[in-house]
Amino acid sequence: MLRLYNSYTKRKEVFRPFKDKAVTMYNCGPTVYDFVHIGNLRSFLFADILRRYLEYRKYKVKQVMNITDVGHMTTDADQGEDKMILAMRREGKSVSDIARFYEGAFFEDVKILGVKPAFKYPRATEHVSEMIKLIKKLLKRKHAYKVLEDNAPRPSLKLRGGEGGVMPGYSIYYDLSTFKKYGKLSGNKIEDLIPGARAEVIHEKRNPYDFALWIYKPEHVLQWETPWGRGYPGWHLECSAMSMKYLGATLDIHTGGEDNKFPHHECEIAQSEGATGKQFARFWLHVKHLLVDGKKMSKSLGNFYTLKNLLDRGFTPRVIRYILVSTHYRETLNFTFGGLKSAQAALMKVDELVERLRNPSQPPQNPRGGENSNSPLKVRGNGGVMKFIKKARQDFISALDDDLNVPKTLAVLFSFVRRVNRKFTVHSSQFTAAKCDGVLKFLQEIDSVLGLGLGTVKKSVIPDGVMKLAEEREVARKIKDWKRADELRAQIKESGYIVEDTAFGPRLKKRM
């Protein structure tokens, strides 16, 4: 039974969707003003594994992830600078060109990392009409109010319903005094909020912490006509409007980074529930921050990494995915290059087992030609392999049912790999094709959730030249010419392979 930690209730709860076996899930997506960094990617990968596991458990998941291309400020204050405008100044391109370029880069990154496509990726700029409708509902239900801006035209007596006369200029704010549940998600209390810390202090606002739904700014590069004048939407509004359009008034799951919890997600709840009177999201799941070498990731510290940065250093997508999902999502991930190398080594162990299982009749890539079947060690046939699979599957499900415990799941995986490897090493001839296929299929079953490319490694063919070097090295070892043996080992390494000496002879594998 799947239990998830609900940030709203502060406890683990049994997950049951609103509709039987149909799950609606909304994930906060990227602001497309720059390349996403590995901290962003960690959050997206968490959502991907959550979705994969729900599908593994036979749920039908309808997933929506937004694309923010307007209104996200450089700070949490309503009147900060729009990140899209900042990027426009930085690059000397139009906001539209910047948004489409970085949106494309985002899609390329998540594709490389094996993230399954969402049902919908709505853009904020294409859903302003839905946001305006939501504001009208909030005004009607007395959760919002208008503020006539100082730089706006005064409303004309001839003006009726926004027609004729001079169009006035209003900003619209959410009146938080009307929503008593504000702060329950994050634990912040309205009376404890410091004026100006999260929303600009404007004297005309009823409360200093009220946040903007609509900002009157006719000179803004991105602007839309409304009954309140020309301007643009507040950042929080888009997620409420778009999630409800595609998933309904009540979501089963809403995810995002820990930094989204306040004020963004608090404001989403206030907007959505204020407009509908219904619970907005039944489960809130938040991913912890990421550190790099124990420090906050920052361009100024030189420890800021994008996917491309890591790929350019020679790390594969599956290794990068591994390290970003290897720490529980509610714990801080300390990203290090040592950790990446450990991830390489861990995945290599699985790849080696896969290669052995695909050629079960002989020890793989053994230049000496020794047979594992000559080993004096005995086992009780291969029936135990299926018991390994059954036990590992139970442990795999148990780990993921416990608030998506991926670290424990990985421990289950590698315990299984060690046990199968040990059994195979003792007596490979007892591994029938059916048993080998059973192990491979189970690895692929695990991978349907983890997405690490388990069981898909292609059989490597060792070049004849490398095999010859290994054979020469064996001759040198037999006559105890250790200097020559070491020289040949170095030549093998230079050729891109590693030689390991085992009880059954030397074993070659490709360097990672």
466 vs 370: which has the higher pLDDT: 466
- State the Cα angle at 358 between 509 and 321, rounded to 5°: 65
Q: Which two tokens stand for residue 498?
A: 């590693």
* Residue 97 lies inside a defined structural domain of this protein: yes
The string of pLDDT tens digits covering residues 199-238 is 555 667 898 889 999 999 888 888 999 999 999 999 899 9
Stronger pLDDT, 399 or 386, i.e. the higher one: 399
184: in domain? yes
How confident is the model at residue 166, as a pLDDT? Answer: 52
Judge whether residue 303 has pLDDT over 90.
yes
Max CA distance (Å), the chain: 106
105, 41 Cβ separation under 8 angstroms: no
Which residues are registered as beta bridge partners of 145? 173
Digit-coded pLDDT (tens) for 43-81: 999 999 999 999 999 999 999 999 999 866 655 545 567
Sheet holding 170-174, edge to edge: 144-148, 170-174, 212-216, 231-233
Q: Is residue 11 part of a domain?
A: yes
In contact, 23 and 62? CB cutoff 8 Å: yes
Output the DSSP codes for 375-434.
-S-----SHHHHHHHHHHHHHHHHHHHBT--HHHHHHHHHHHHHHHHHHHHH-GGG--HH
Q: What is the DSSP string of 476-491?
A: HHHTT-HHHHHHHHHH
| Euclidean distance between CA atoms 275 and 156, whole angstroms | 29
Strand, coil or helix: what is 369?
Answer: coil
Side chain identity, residue 320:
I
144-179, pLDDT tens digit by residue?
999 998 666 655 544 444 444 456 789 999 999 999
How remote is the C-alpha of 217 from its chain's centroid?
Answer: 35
pLDDT classification of 365: cutoffs 50, 70, 90: very low
Residue 28 within any structural domain of the chain: yes
Q: Phi, psi (5° rounding) for residue 26?
A: -120, 130
Q: Which of 286, 317, 338 is the last residue of a domain?
A: 286
Report whether 203 contacts 197 (CB < 8 A). no
In a domain, 159, yes or no: no
Strands 251-257 and 22-27, how do they pair? Answer: parallel
H or E element: which one contains 23?
strand 22-27
- Which of 286, 306, 331 lies at the terminal end of a domain, its last residue? 286
Residue 257 lies in a domain: yes
Q: Domain of 106?
A: 1-148+168-286
Q: What CA–CA distance (Å, rounded) separates 205 from 172?
A: 10
Can you give the pLDDT at residue 208?
86
DSSP element (H, E) containing 284: strand 281-287
Domains: count for the chain: 2
Chain mean pLDDT for the chain: 88
What 3-state DSSP class applies to 469?
helix
Q: Report pLDDT for 96.
A: 92
* For residue 374, pLDDT beyond 80: no
Q: Which residue has the tokens 């504001």?
A: 135
Residue 190 DSSP class: G
With both helix axes pointing from N to C terminus, report the angle between 128-140 and 266-276 in degrees, rounded to the nearest 10. Answer: 70
Q: Count CB-CB contacts under 10 A for residue 141.
A: 13
Is the predicted pLDDT of residue 456 greater than 90, yes or no? Answer: no
**pLDDT tops 50 at residue 377:** no
Q: Tell me the per-residue pLDDT of 176-190, one tens digit each, with 9 for 90 and over.
A: 999 999 999 999 988
Strand ranges for 140-250 from DSSP E: 144-148, 170-174, 212-216, 231-233
Which of 286, 310, 345 delimits the end of a domain? 286
CB 87 within 8 A of CB 33: yes
Task: Answer whether 15's CB lies under 8 Å from 3's CB.
Answer: yes
Nearest alpha-carbon partner for 147 in 82, 209, 212: 212
Amino acid making up residue 14: V
Question: Are the C-beta atoms of 428 and 372 separated by less than 8 Å?
Answer: yes
Residue 508 has pLDDT above 60, yes or no: yes
**Residue in 33, 47, 31 with CA at minimum distance from that of residue 114:** 47
Q: What is the CATH number of the domain that holds 54?
A: 3.40.50.620
Residue 418 counted as domain residue: no
Kindly report which listed range (205-209, 407-411, 430-434) carries the lowest average pLDDT score.
430-434
Pairing of strands 497-502, 505-510: antiparallel
Task: Tell me the sheet residues that pair with 26.
Answer: 64, 254
Is residue 306 in some structural domain? no
pLDDT at residue 299 tops 90: no
Greatest mean pLDDT among 213-222, 236-245, 462-471 lies in 236-245
